[in-house]
Amino acid sequence: MTINTTRRGFLKSAAAAGAVLLVGARPDGALAAASSETAQFNPFVKIDADGTVTAIVKHFEKGQGPATGLPTLIAEEIGLRMDQIEYEFAPSDPQVYNNLLFGPFQGTGGSTAMANSWMQYRQAGAAAREMLINAAAQSWGVAASDVTIEEGIVNAGDKSAPIADFVAAASQLEAPVEPRLKDPADFRLIGNEAVRRKDSAIKGNGQAMYAMDVHLPNQMIAMIKRPESRGGIATGFDDSASKEVKGYINATVLPNQAGVAVYAENTWAAIQARDALEVEWDMSGAETRDSDQIKAEIMDALEAEATYNVNKADVAAVSAAIEGADQVVEKTFYFPLLAHAPMEPLNCTIEQTAEGNIVLHDGSQMPTGPHMAYQQIFQLPPEKIQINTMLAGGSFGRRATPDADYQVEAALAFVVTDRSRPVKLVWTREDDIRSGYYRPAFGHKARVGLNAEGEIVGWQHQVAGQSIMKGTPFEAVVVHGGVDHSSVEGIADSPYEIPGMALGLTDTPKATSVLWWRSVGHTHTAYTMETMMDLAAQAAGRDPVEFRLAHLSDASDPDQQRKAAVLKLATEKAGWGTAPEGRSQGIAVHKSFGSYVAEVVEISGDPESGIKIEKVTCAVDCGIAVNPDVVKAQMEGGIGYGIGHVMRDQITLTSGAVDQYNFPDYEPLRIGDIAAIDVHIVPSAEAPTGVGEPGTPPSAPALANAITAMSGLHMAELPMAENGVSFV
């Protein structure tokens, strides 16, 4: 992947009058500092002459907390209160603002925002502090070691001044090569549960600006009329009825013929004009299958020999061990297509400036994607393309498209105009639910053999589904020996000590466009692993928690010990085994994105008349919890996202066309669905790992295990509603 670098100069807040201290990194990773007049790099921290400190946040904010977390790191190291630091989102610059775990690619995903920013932003803050202290020491004629910064005030003996007094002098100093980081014992903000989100007030009073809220002077609204089934090609249209809509401007077939762009003066006119448009489609290359056929292809693949022997197991030996076992537990699972359905329907706005630059206003999860695509579409060098990253109304993976799908769609709708008017592309909820990029459907077949002592002697596991990563820029990183790790993550790398594990994978043919969905492969692997663990424990006549701990017993393996620790904490806090009369509990524990999460779901009622989810108790080990309350919120949200979908949601196709339209037939989790969630964080000195996704994987199997414990019903096909289970 070749990525051209951009020049600096696209920071949203132009340099204020007077000296400005910028601290960032050069492309080689070395710290760099300069005044605003001389800087040749994009910074992580900016301190204006008046002492205003701004964190330049390289990750987008979809609710998961980097607009709080990254400023926390800088404020901690400089010595500020949280109300003394502002934030703004970084411009597109894949050399400086790249995700350190993605290579030269700026983007948010895989629950990596904090994990990859942790040292980088602390170092930038520590460098700024050291420069301010050195400037103060010179000015006051004291030793730098005698100068401190507390709550934005520089102190030395009886001298005291705000940091603003030293910004000009500090901006003339060299950046330290290795600034001294704060001792974790001295942290005041990191790990402090009292630290509040930076974006709460504006999101509660309507002031928060999302891409959907962009109103550029003279902008047009564009909506795309798409074929009923993916792969249909627009060959012409009749807009005579659209012309009756006041505010309709015109329509044009997109250059790639994937649809017809309808332009209007406002959103309501665009909705009506698109509804009224008659399009001629060539459907000869369109998808025609039903989802039942796609499912059958997956289930057939589970019965054939797997294409890939993922863990290079001796399959014959494992098979023989299971054949010779005292008991065999066998289940075949199916996981349907799922839509992400973020609350803010996809949209973005493109304008061309007087200088001929292209500016994209977008809740941009992977700015490098559209930045590269736009160089091709507009035939412009990278420095002529700007991306204004705005708050995003959720994503769950949907905005992270390596092919920049909706941003490219907007660019195609813009490039065919005379570019005199900005174009705002707006998707409706129906576009969102019906236009692909789903969590792929997957099938699993698992056979577990147990000996007379109730111990696992063999575990044969086959996975089949459509690869997410093949054909994307991430293929080189994630696909090895043909195996897309994201199809088997959570099994292939499970910390469980399982003797005789054989893991096979078969890629099934492309069924629709697929995409990572909050926790990616763990959405199905955790469900299979953790419901099978329960079934195996039951067959062995052992307690599900004790059974799991027996497979996490290696005291020398921190991976097993951390997983065991969250399991113990969650069960202790949930009162495992002491549920009140009429209630049942289910447990699941899973490692994903470097974090360990255990969840106990407690339910009442029964499957026929309705199950009530009374309580979810969660324990998480994510290393150092930078913002503990944000970590708790992410667990709460991850649990709700996982449970909400397995209860009743799926995307199905009839003759290639998506059957669902909007929330009434893709029902979101509602407030009454989960009565309470209780989150506990394991204290840790380890570097931070992910929290955006790891709350999701254990939630569905913990619920399933609770239902099985209550009724004996095991649900191997999702959603649970397909098994006759209802919820109240």
Contacting positions for other proteins (CB under 8 A): 61-64, 196-197, 199-210, 212-213, 215, 246, 266-268, 271, 341-345, 391-396, 428-429, 629-630, 633, 636-637, 639-641, 644, 662-664, 668-677
What whole-number distance in Å separates Cα of residue 108 and Cα of residue 704? 31
Amino acid (1-letter code) at residue 218: N
What whole-number distance in Å separates Cα of residue 163 and Cα of residue 240? 65
Minimum CB distance to other proteins smaller for 542 or for 612: 612
Give me the least distance between CB of 525 and other proteins, in Å please.
22
Give me the least distance between CB of 123 and other proteins, in Å please.
28
Specify burial of residue 303 (Cβ count, 10 A radius: 0-12, 13-18, 19+). exposed
What whole-number distance in Å separates Cα of residue 503 and Cα of residue 495? 15
What whole-number distance in Å separates Cα of residue 361 and Cα of residue 479? 33
Give me the least distance between CB of 546 and other proteins, in Å please.
30
Three-state DSSP string of 563-601? HHHHHHHHHHHHCCCCCCCCCEEEEEEEEECCEEEEEEE
Give me the least distance between CB of 200 and other proteins, in Å please.
5
486 contacts 520 by C-beta, under 8 angstroms: yes
468 contacts 516 by C-beta, under 8 angstroms: yes
Tokens of 656: 């290639």
Give me the least distance between CB of 6 and other proteins, in Å please.
27
Minimum CB distance to other proteins smaller for 159 or for 203: 203
Amino acid (1-letter code) at residue 690: G
424 contacts 347 by C-beta, under 8 angstroms: yes
Minimum CB distance to other proteins smaller for 245 or for 502: 245
Minimum CB distance to other proteins smaller for 167 or for 520: 520
Give me the least distance between CB of 392 and other proteins, in Å please.
7
Give me the least distance between CB of 674 and other proteins, in Å please.
7
Amino acid (1-letter code) at residue 551: H
**Spatial CA neighbour of 59 closest among 269, 315, 367:** 367
What whole-number distance in Å separates Cα of residue 486 and Cα of residue 469? 7
223 contacts 428 by C-beta, under 8 angstroms: yes
Residue 145 is classified by DSSP as G
Sign of the Cα torsion 526, 531, 536, 537 reads: positive
Give me the least distance between CB of 62 and other proteins, in Å please.
5
- Residue 379 makes CB contacts below 8 A (sequence gap 6+) with none
Amino acid (1-letter code) at residue 688: P
Give me the least distance between CB of 622 and other proteins, in Å please.
17
Minimum CB distance to other proteins smaller for 99 or for 272: 272
Minimum CB distance to other proteins smaller for 232 or for 694: 694
Give me the least distance between CB of 667 and other proteins, in Å please.
9
Give me the least distance between CB of 291 and other proteins, in Å please.
23
Minimum CB distance to other proteins smaller for 32 or for 391: 391
What whole-number distance in Å separates Cα of residue 200 and Cα of residue 180? 32
What whole-number distance in Å separates Cα of residue 69 and Cα of residue 83? 13
Minimum CB distance to other proteins smaller for 344 or for 489: 344
What secondary structure does DSSP assign to 382-434, as a single string?
GGGEEEEE-B-S--TTTT--TT-HHHHHHHHHHHTS-SSS-EEEE--HHHHHH
Minimum CB distance to other proteins smaller for 267 or for 288: 267
Angle at 627 between CA 62 and CA 161, to 5 degrees: 110
How many alpha carbons lie under 13 Å from residue 643 in its C-beta half-sphere?
36
What whole-number distance in Å separates Cα of residue 132 and Cα of residue 171? 9
Minimum CB distance to other proteins smaller for 492 or for 674: 674
Minimum CB distance to other proteins smaller for 403 or for 673: 673
Give me the least distance between CB of 266 and other proteins, in Å please.
4
Three-state DSSP string of 468-530? CCCCCCCHHHHEECCEEHHHHCCCCCCCCCCCCEEEEEEECCCCCCECCCCCCCHHHHHHHHH
Minimum CB distance to other proteins smaller for 285 or for 610: 610
What whole-number distance in Å separates Cα of residue 387 and Cα of residue 360? 5
Minimum CB distance to other proteins smaller for 73 or for 674: 674
353-381 in b/e burial notation, b at 16+ Cβ within 10 A? eeeeebbbbbbbbbbbbbbbbbbebbeee
Minimum CB distance to other proteins smaller for 39 or for 270: 270
Give me the least distance between CB of 114 and other proteins, in Å please.
15
Minimum CB distance to other proteins smaller for 170 or for 603: 603
Give me the least distance between CB of 367 and other proteins, in Å please.
18
Give me the least distance between CB of 205 and other proteins, in Å please.
6
Minimum CB distance to other proteins smaller for 240 or for 266: 266
What whole-number distance in Å separates Cα of residue 45 and Cα of residue 55? 5
Regarding beta strands 21-25 and 278-282, do their DSSP bridges make them parallel or antiparallel, or are they unpaired? Answer: unpaired
